[in-house]
Amino acid sequence: MTNTGCHNAGQTCWSCPAVEFKGHVDFRACGQAAFRKAAQGQLVVECRRRPEIGYFDPNSITFESCSEWKETPDGYLLDGMKVLILGMDGYLGWPLALKLARQGCRVLGIDNMMRRDLVAERGADSITPIGSMEERVAAAREKLDVEIEFRELDLMDRPALAALIEEFQPESIVQFAEIPSAPYSMADVERAVSTVQNNVVGTLGLLFAVRDHAPDASIIKLGTMGEYGSPLTGRPLFEGLFPGDAVLQYQGQEWSLGGELTPRDPVSFYHVSKVQGTFSVYEACKYWWLRSYDVMQGVIYGNSSAELDLDPAFNTRFDIDEWWGTVVNRFVAQAVIGMPLTIYGSGSQKRGYITLRDAMQCITRLIAAPPEPGQYDVVNQVTDVFSVREIAQMVATIAREFDLEVEVQRIENPRVESEEHPYEVIHEKLADRFGFESESAFADEVRHLFRVLLQPEIRARIINQQDTLFPKTRWSGEHGELEVLETWKPAA
Amino acid sequence: MDLFLLGIDGLPRWMWQQLADSGVMPNSQKLLRTGTLVPMKSALPEVSSAAWASIVTGENSGGHNVFGFTDLLDGSYTLGFTSSRTFRAAPFWSRPDAGPSLILNVPQTYPAQPLNGMLVSGFVALDLKRAVYPADAFPWLNEQKYSVDADMSLVEKGKSRFVRELLDVMRIRCEALHHYWDAEPWQNVMYVFTGTDRLNHYLWEDFEDSSSPHHQEFLDFYHEVDREIGRILERLDDRTTLAAVSDHGFARQLRSVNLNCLLAEAGYLQLKPSDRPSYGDMLPETKAFAMDPGRIYLHREGRYPNGRVTDDEAEELMQELTQWLGSVSVAGAPVTAEVVRGGDAYSGPFSHRAPDLIGMPAENVALSGRLNLSDLIEPTLINGRHTYEESSFFVRGENHGEIPADMKVENVLDVILPAREQSLRRAA
């Protein structure tokens, strides 16, 4: 029932972070007021951007009808929306900063630059060269005419984080500042503790800072599909919360499960930290009326976006090693240097996948459609489900287009996981409620990766760090080389 | 001091006299003997925002632009809340000859606007910092835990808890009154007790039912109000014009009827499906809609973005609606006692913004105009409602202007400041 059809056209000021809750007023009782968001009565708000409206009913103005919301390809966006990206130096953080800045957002990013150190510790480096943050910001200014602000700051430095949030007054906060590696978290106790501390305690500190200094900001929290595990019963992986008609039957009785958090079954201490983050955010929304989308992201791959493709100076980092690379990216790198694609165990493990380009669109659409105060919701950010074996087959097939003959190798599974399991991912919200349409198919993105990684200087960088590609970290804590079980050349 | 104007929100004239005579309000008893107490008519509709605006400006809603607590912003469906910014006539303390004024807890003065003196807004005020002028008064008030309003959600925790909150809020406000009274040689002081209105809304049934466990709490609250009135009287000399007013009367409420439900059932109001309906969801086919409490607006072409009712159709439609409102009943009882035309009720530069019709509620009924159409009879803890008749007007002594036989809220200044009002009218 909107004029533009944008996914957020009909959202109202009650979702807008520029609006300040003033109270609930019962006008039947002479404007008797209550000052808690949980109270009953007519909502009364004030707009920080349009104070001339005075107090008003937030449901009487839609994004579509508000002069502060501008139409973009990803829906209406609050003009000059202040977005704080935590972890801006990362694989996701930098492309998001570019995309948002280009769409008119005022972007401030922080990072403690830890990822660069952790990758170097593994003897690896981004195989696409990346500049320092200062160089990246300067390139964005020079070539895109956008101003992105960066401050080196550790999420664990809570006083500094609180001061920054108080000063910047973000309208949206994207939480990417987490250590994103399952094998790293399983390598030894120090790395497990570091992962849990950074991810769990960092997010918890963030929530308190938001409560105290920017309670109307929406929080886009990056989770992972790995939080759900892969239930052997074949229970669908709903989007975080059970649908309204879900029912538990037990001993002849039935209970509704609608709206409850679905079970989590993490598959590493990294995933455990993500689950803890989910609960922290969920509770904060409940206790303090914060608002958040928890993004259960599938395995991400690719290195292209509308902005990244414009100039190599915009490159985002691209890791391929055992700890920091993801499977599709690593397979393409292995194919480029003639190394067999390594499959763990049977290779039947199924996961959800999404390209970097599509993930950036999803996150932008979520930023554009903030939840209401107190609302916690979950999206499964996935476009495809593949088994590892299927991915190896597809990458090998595409490699032939580049005159590369690729072998596939099955090795002993270093992880403790089900290798044979059903996997039904429900991923409807992003398309149905946020207007997401995939812009990049698997094969096209992999072809793009081959073109980039086959550039001689990039290929040379892969060769330089080929020792880091083969897995060594076992979930069991045992040491020693993993056994190669089988090697074959996939059929055409 | 030239003037002390005391407000007692929602105190009916008959009840004040009754509580004074029965000994619940002994200071009032003494006071009422020194002057004239008459019934006064409230604003149309009988809401506090419009009535207080009339009391302090001498205008009706057509002159000061406050028709209720809410209004649609011109040319839009944005539901705004009336405030000191939408209040377009000068209150007596802002007039050139006013002199220094201390204005405390007067409804409809939020956010606080600059004046010669000091002002702390009354309801609806949602942020103390912005309710205070000059700003340097804020720290002391904040330290005293001065409250801009009692928290209505406490009524859900029990009436006794709610009454305690009302008492706490009133005591702190009265302390503030005396604190600032001492600070300057004020020419005008206005102070309004507003807890009385809150009490009446939620404990009216307990007032009427002497066997209620909360009956005595109701009376005790008024006794405390009276004690504070006594403290004020002790400080006033005979040269000060002393007047005491309420903005509307009160009566029992058995049901709150949503006029928009009735309008929708009768086909006058048509809404798009929505989880949280707003006025922007009205379809162009909508002929009329209501806003709290009994204001009815034709969905006129030119006035509203999707309005289609033309001037030619308006007269017939108003006749039809008037007849229909007079005949409609809920729970076997009429909903309205009378329907007044906006064109007959208002005068002044903002009359064109007035409702087309005003439904005056029938006995035991409160009217509302919410767009959530789920309940024709709305669930509420409120059991007392405003009345148009029988608000209180009292003035001490005989040195005042003539009290009209049909005293209305907009006549208050004419009576208590006759010289100033006449000079103002001459200047106009």
B70 and B185 housed in the same domain: yes
- Proportion of chain B above pLDDT 70, given as a percent: 98
Q: CB burial class (10 A; 0-12, 13-18, 19+) of residue B183?
A: exposed
Give the position of tokens 């989007």.
A239
Q: Does A39 touch chain B (CB under 8 A)?
A: yes
What residues contact B303, with CB distance under 8 A and at least 6 apart?
A: B75
**B294 with B146, same domain?**
no
Same domain, B318 and B350: yes
Identify the CATH number of the domain in which residue B396 sits. Answer: 3.40.720.10
Q: Taking CB atoms and an 8 Å cutoff, what residues of chain B touch A61?
A: 78, 280
For chain B, say whether A23 makes contact (Cβ under 8 Å).
yes
- Shared domain for B223 and B148, answered yes or no, is yes
Residue B379 lies in a domain: no
- Domain range list for chain A: 1-72, 80-488
Residue A39's pLDDT is what? Answer: 65
Same domain flag for B93 and B17: yes
When CB atoms are compared, the residue of A36, A55, A59 closest to B276 is A59
Same domain, yes or no: B111 and B216:
yes
pLDDT of residue A1 exceeding 50:
no
What distance in Å separates the CA atoms of residue A364 and residue A380, rounded to the nearest whole number? 15
Contact A53 B73 (CB under 8 A): yes
Inside any domain, residue B152: yes
Tokens encoding A297: 């992201």
Scanning every residue of chain B, which has its alpha carbon at the shortest distance from the alpha carbon of A38?
Answer: B153
Residue B7 in domain: yes
Chain A nearest-CA distance from B237, in A, is 33
Same domain, B196 and B333: no
Interval A333-374: pLDDT, tens: 999 999 999 999 999 999 999 999 999 999 999 999 999 999
Contact criterion met (CB < 8 Å) for B78 and A56: yes
Percent of chain A at pLDDT > 90 equals: 92
Supply the pLDDT for residue B422. 61
Residue of B nearest to A59 (CA): B278
Residue A274 clears pLDDT 60, i.e. is over it: yes
Statement to judge: residues B420 and B280 lie in one domain: no
Express each pLDDT in B47-80 by its tens digit.
Answer: 999 999 999 999 999 999 999 999 999 999 999 9
**Whether pLDDT at A29 is above 70:** no
Residue B85, phi then psi, degrees to nearest 5: -75, -30
**Is residue B255 scored above 90 in pLDDT?**
yes
Of A14, A36, A53, the CB nearest to B78: A53
Q: Looking at the structure, do residues B325 and B349 belong to the same domain, yes or no? A: yes
Residue range A409-431: mean pLDDT, rounded = 96
B32 shares a domain with B164? yes
Kindly report, residue by residue over B145-163, the tens digit of the pLDDT.
Answer: 998 888 888 888 999 999 9
Q: At what angle do helices B215-235 and B195-208 cross, to 10 degrees?
A: 140
How far apart (Å, rounded) are the C-alpha atoms in residues B8 and B245?
6
Q: What pLDDT is stored for residue B281 in this prediction?
A: 93
> If you measure CA to CA, which chain A residue comes closest to B153?
A34
Domain end among B344, B368, B392: B368
Angle between helix A456-464 and helix A327-336 axes, rounded to 10 deg: 100
The domain tally of chain B equals: 2
pLDDT at residue A35 tops 80 = no
Could you report the per-residue pLDDT of A49-103, keeping only the tens digit for each? 998 888 899 999 999 999 999 999 999 999 999 999 999 999 999 999 999 999 9
Q: Which of A60, A61, A67 to mutate to test the interface with B (most CBs of B within 10 A)?
A: A60
A470-485 per-position pLDDT tens digit: 999 999 999 999 999 9
**A and B: number of Cβ contacts within 8 A:** 119
B132 inside domain = yes
Is B333 inside a domain boundary? yes
- Which CATH code is given to the segment(s) A80-488? 3.40.50.720
Average pLDDT of chain B to the nearest whole number: 95
Rounded distance between C-alpha atoms, residue B332 and residue B328, angstroms: 9
Count of residues in chain B? 428
Structure tokens that stand for A188 in this block = 């030894």
φ and ψ at residue A100, rounded to 5 degrees? -70, -40
Q: Which residue, among A14, A43, A46, A55, would best test binding to B if mutated, counting the most B CBs under 10 Å from its CB?
A: A55
- Domain residues for the domain of B423 are 3-253+384-427
- Which among B272, B279, B386 has CB closest to A1? B272
- Could you give the residue numbers annotated as active site of A? 224, 270, 274
* Distance of residue B185 Cα from the nearest chain A Cα, in angstroms: 33
Q: How far is B402 from chain A (nearest CA, A)?
A: 30
Name the residue among B35, B99, B41 with its Cα closest to residue B400. B35
- Selected for mutation to probe chain B from A28, A44, A52 (highest B CB count within 10 Å) is A28
Q: Indicate whether B248 and B260 sit together in one domain.
A: no
Question: Quick one: B214 and B327 in the same domain?
Answer: no
Length of chain A: 492
